[in-house]
Amino acid sequence: MSNSLLNAVTASKKDSKSNSTKNPAFYNRELRQFEREMIGHENPIVREAAASNPHCSTGSLVAQLAVETDITVLRSLLLHPNIPVKYIVAFASSDAAGQFDDDHEVIDTLVTRING
């Protein structure tokens, strides 16, 4: 009886080792894929949630800034602390930046970051 219990436990232990081959790179790829799905979602509320997430990667945020048209999502992107200043400057020189001419919070925050 004890021998079959030992066999069962040993077999389970071997199975659990073979299932744990996923390394941090695997989870990083899964996270980036999830971010891409979130920033490309059709619902602007979902895109805004992705844009305001403090753990969202810089690459995902920059990609979203390049294609986003919703003003609420753009505002979240511009106020995100992980967006590099060079992309903010590039956005400011685009036609889409005119939407924020009267938004003093965005202007003040961006001026502080650029001069900071």
- The average pLDDT across 87-111 equals 89
Q: Which residue, among 99, 104, 110, has the nearest Cα to 72 in the 3D structure?
A: 99
- What is the rounded distance in angstroms from the CA atom of residue 78 to the CA atom of residue 109? 9
- The average pLDDT across 87-102 equals 89
pLDDT digits (tens, 9 = 90+) for 25-57: 999 899 989 999 999 999 999 999 999 999 999
- What is the rounded distance in angstroms from the CA atom of residue 11 to the CA atom of residue 14? 5
| pTM of the complete model | 0.73
Domain residue limits, the chain: 23-115
Q: Which residue, among 41, 36, 44, has the nearest Cα to 62 in the 3D structure?
A: 36
Q: Which residue, among 49, 77, 76, 75, has the nearest Cα to 63 in the 3D structure?
A: 77
For residue 23, the model assigns a pLDDT of: 87
Give the tokens for residue 107.
Answer: 């202007």
Q: Which of 116 and 95 is assigned the larger pLDDT?
A: 95
pLDDT of 9 strictly over 70: no
Average pLDDT score over the chain: 85
